Amino acid sequence: MKLSHLSETLIGSEIVKLGGEIREKIRQGERIYNFTIGDFDPAIFPIPKELENAIVDAYRRHFTNYPAAEGNLDLREAVHSFIKEEEGLDYSVNEILIASGGRPLIYTVFRAIADKGDKIIYAVPSWNNNHYTHFVSGEHVVIEAGPETNFMPTAEAIRPHVKDAVLLSLCSPQNPTGTTFRKEELEAICDLVLEENKRRSDTEKKLYVMFDQMYWHLTFGDIQHYNPVSLRPEMKEYTLFIDAISKVFAATGVRVGWSLGPAAIINKMKAILTHIGAWAPMAEQKAVAQYLADREGIKNYLAHFKSEILERLQKIYDGFTALKKEGFAVDAIAPEAAIYLTIKIELAGKKTAEGTVLETQADVTAYLLNKAGLAVVPFYAFGAPNHSPWYRLSVGTCKKEEIGEMLGKLKEALLGVSSY
């Protein structure tokens, strides 16, 4: 069967593949500690009750027709007010585009800006940049970020690649790492972009930044979220924000997202969306417009929500720290933001009690799943090298009472390799 070049060359999702294996094990009755999905168990993390009621009410009021292509005006006005008050960003309604979550907006950013062969810069590990670049037949310019920078790209690493690049994809707080840009580093990246665009003539494409800040509300402790436009107002001309209710309100399935950016680009993205039809449902738009006005309710929701997420991340981080102190080949980065913990399990080359050598990191991933029932996503699923021993651990479906059990099973598995 002969199909398109895109379909024949598109790489399947490692996360989806791993998810299939996990579901099969659960179906067979195995005990699995599933920390793979960037989602929430609604029984643990329900959406705000006020938002739920507003959605139900909107359907009962028969808001079931097509929304406006760019998003309903009342929602764009609500986003304008919310973002201006909460983040200090001032975008008019014609600089805001609504869609069914962040993914269609990311796709339309890539489509609106990049042509075949255009250079697209992104760091690894990162979520799906490799796939979106493939969608538009762009040239992959990959920056490998490591633990020395908390897996965040630096201006120094980006600088050699900016010439002729058209898109720089950034994410903070970062998926999969749960880490964030420090103010000085993001300022340096902004200065680099502004310097490069100043160098280019008016007939050349500019270098644009897609700034995915899906998790920006979910920072912990002293960690602060920074964005390009607040740090460098001149960046407003070159920045496309991606944001949504998906993570901040545990509303991954409610599918309402927005992009903020220059009106000329937003209009092109809107034109692309009209052919895709990936609009947020009318009722959900009406409900979100209403809920975003409830600042006090949002503040109360986030206070509880964030404390529950951090408690889980901190307990697992403390567990990994204790295992490291015991001499096991594990590590973790202290929680900063989002619902993710970056962990390290370095067992490649070791021999199991059964005599099997864990030759690759994929073998290690399988060993953790089979021996400890621990399901985590390897960074090589996010574009990192295949030998990377780092993993994303997501707590969106984590039950607090299972954390101790999981750490105990992991310790047993670590003891089951020949070096211990």
DSSP 346-391: --TT-BBTTS-B--SHHHHHHHIIIII-EE-EEGGGGTS-TT--EE
> Would 5-45+299-415 and 49-294 be classified into the same CATH topology?
no
Query: pLDDT digits over 211-268, tens only?
Result: 999 999 999 999 999 999 999 999 999 999 999 999 999 999 999 999 999 999 999 9
Q: Which of 11, 35, 12 is nearest to 22 (CA)?
A: 35
pTM: 0.94
Percent of the chain beyond pLDDT 70?
Answer: 99
Query: pLDDT digits over 83-131, tens only?
Result: 999 999 999 999 999 999 999 999 999 999 999 999 999 999 999 999 9
End-to-end CA separation in angstroms for the chain: 51
Give me the numbers of helices (H) and strands (E) for the chain, helices first please: 14, 13
pLDDT of residue 13: 67
Spell out the CATH class of 49-294: alpha beta
Judge whether residue 11 has pLDDT over 80: no
Q: Vertex 344, ends 157 and 339: CA angle to 5°? A: 80
CA of residue 9 relative to chain centroid, distance: 24
| 176: its two tokens | 């999969």
Q: Which residue has the higher pLDDT, 101 or 14?
A: 101
Q: Which of 77, 112, 95 is nearest to 274 (CA)?
A: 112
Q: Vertex 217, ends 216 and 221: CA angle to 5°? A: 100
| Average of per-residue pLDDT values in the chain | 95
Q: pLDDT class for 353, splitting at 50, 70, 90?
A: confident
- Domain parsing of the chain, residue ranges: 5-45+299-415, 49-294
Least confident among 20-24, 181-185, 195-199, 337-341: 20-24
Percent of the chain beyond pLDDT 90?
Answer: 87
Judge whether residue 420 has pLDDT over 60: no
pLDDT of residue 1: 73
What residues does 375 pair with on adjacent strands?
Answer: 34
Q: Which of 167, 230, 231, 236 is nearest to 196 (CA)?
A: 167
pLDDT of residue 400: 95
The Cα 109–Cα 111 span in angstroms is 5
The Cα 104–Cα 11 span in angstroms is 19
The Cα 339–Cα 355 span in angstroms is 36
In terms of CATH, what superfamily is 5-45+299-415? Aspartate Aminotransferase, domain 1 (3.90.1150.10)
